[in-house]
Structure 1
Amino acid sequence: MSEYHHGFSVSIERTGDERVLLSLYARGKLEHEDYETLVPMLESAIAGMDHPKVDVLFDMRDLTGWEIRAAWDDLKLGLKHGRQFNRVAMVGDKQWQEVAAKVGSWFIGGEAKIFDDRAQAVAWLEQNA
């Protein structure tokens, strides 16, 4: 019997005094516990910044969705820190991911865009760095 794998791989990189690059790779269905790990990491990275600018590279090609509580956690993250998100580049290849990207863009102050190709997503983020 195979095991079910899910969750985030997270990388956070601070550039200068105000920019943070948050790289996420999501696999399976995200759960509340995933956000209990991610949110404190992000908040720690932006702590002490007067006007943080967060760029996100979100690889969601292996994401199958969110449990209800995790979707609520995602919404709360957007409401609390949404104005700090500058650009969110999502990499995905499923129709529902495009819809999720569009809905997610309503809760951030910056731009959100979905890409089929990771290299294009990275290039788009670097245009604004």
Structure 2
Amino acid sequence: MNTTHGLSIGIERSGEDFFLSLKAIGKLTHHDYETITPMIDSALEAVKDPHVKVLIDGTELQGWEPRAAWDDFKLGLKHGNKFDKIAIYGNKKWQEHTAKIAAWFISGEVKFFENVDDALAWLKE
């Protein structure tokens, strides 16, 4: 049984614009968020009015532990007004529903894609 889990993060910055890429693997835990949240916080706090576009690769995501789901929700509430667009790339129906729920908590747009090229093209529009 594969018990590998976690989040890998990539952050690119051009002035006030950020491009955040996240790859989620396995079933995410509270510890995964304890590791990743300070990185996102410090990247965004350094800029007065950041504009963030996010690509989330959920193709290997299996879900969240209950406390990790709460961590994810809190992260969205804390930084939700900084996100211009979030593209969720995945291959599971529940991820599409997650994208719709996420849209309630952030000021920007959230869309689900089954093709990574379509997701990137939409983010760059």
Distance 2:80 2:70 in 1: 14
Alignment of 1:64-75 (within 5 A): 64-75=62-73
Q: What is the TM-score with the length of structure 1 in the denominator?
A: 0.92
Contact 1:55 1:85 in 2 (8 A): yes
Q: Does 1:13 align with 2:19?
A: no
Instruction: State the superposition RMSD in angstroms.
Output: 1.0
Write out aligned runs for 1:1-129 (5 A): 2-16=1-15, 18-127=16-125
In structure 1, list runs of 5 or more residues that go unmatched. Answer: none
Give the partner amino acid of 1:6. Answer: H
**Runs of 4 or more off by more than 3 Å in structure 1?**
none
* Contact preservation (8 Å) 1:14, 1:45: no
d(CA) in 1 for partners of 2:54, 2:114: 16
Cα separation, 1, equivalents of 2:96 and 2:6: 20
Q: Partner letter of residue 76 of structure 1?
A: K
* 1:3 shift after superposition: 4.4
Tell me how far apart the structure 1 counterparts of residues 22 and 48 of structure 2 sit (CA, whole Å): 24
Aligned residues: 125
The 8 Å contact of residues 24 and 57 in structure 1, kept in 2 or not, is answered as yes
Structure 2 CA distance for aligned equivalents of residues 4 and 48 of structure 1 = 35
**Residues 42-96 of structure 1: CA distance to partner in whole angstroms, max 9, x if unpaired?**
1111123111111110000110101000100011111111101110000011111
**Aligned partner of 1:91: which letter?**
Y
Equivalent pair of 1:91/1:114 in contact (CA under 8 Å): yes
Residues 31 and 69, structure 1, Cα contact 8 Å, conserved in 2: yes
Q: Percent identity?
A: 53
